[in-house]
Amino acid sequence: MKNILLILLLAFTFQSFGQNNYRIEKSIWNYTKPSEYISRVDNFEKDIKTGEDYVKKQNDGTTLSTDDKILVSVAKSDSIQMNLVLASYKNNGNIERFTLKGYAEKLGEYFKVNPKEDNPKNIVTVKVSQLTIDETKFYLISKTVNYTGQNYSYTSDYYVTEIQGKEFSIAAVYDNETDKQKIEKSILESTFE
């Protein structure tokens, strides 16, 4: 009997190890970060500042949201600006204005031209698709930039949906197949309560 209880306790421990729960209004998002990734709990201000600087540089009339709530930021332990995941939620004004699908399409159009690409040798590809994560409909805006002269590319994935009247998004950036698989798995296996 003691062995059965010990096995059940260990199974529960291994199943929940690394999983964190994040509140989005009255919903709970359960997320397990990829292996070898670390939480960036002290970098939220830096992430926000980076976003503000980027929007200002674009000089295209775009404004920055002022009500973002960052839930989690994780990065590969040996990387700060690449191979990372950031999840947040904010007011759903854009979804109300354009619908979720319309907003995803607008984001896709925006990502095609931003950041401004001055080198014609670089290839930018943007794809908008619909997918389901734990019975919740998301739109995925995926942007790949291929620096052909440098034999280097990276992909930015932006998952967006509406939860409890809020825009919930997960941004992921990666530059290799191994990290892509780890990041996608962590996102696609997340759950909602």
The CATH architecture annotation of domain 17-192 reads 3-Layer(aba) Sandwich (3.40)
Distance CA 174, CA 184 (A): 10
Residues in CB range of 186: below 8 A, 6 or more apart: 31, 32, 33, 34, 85
132-141 residues labelled b (16+ CB within 10 A) or e (exposed): ebeebebbbb
Rounded mean pLDDT of 117-127? 84
pLDDT at 107: 96
pLDDT in tens, 55-114: 556 555 544 555 789 999 999 876 667 999 999 999 999 999 999 999 999 999 999 887
Indicate if the pLDDT at residue 17 is higher than 50: no
Structural domain boundaries in the chain: 17-192
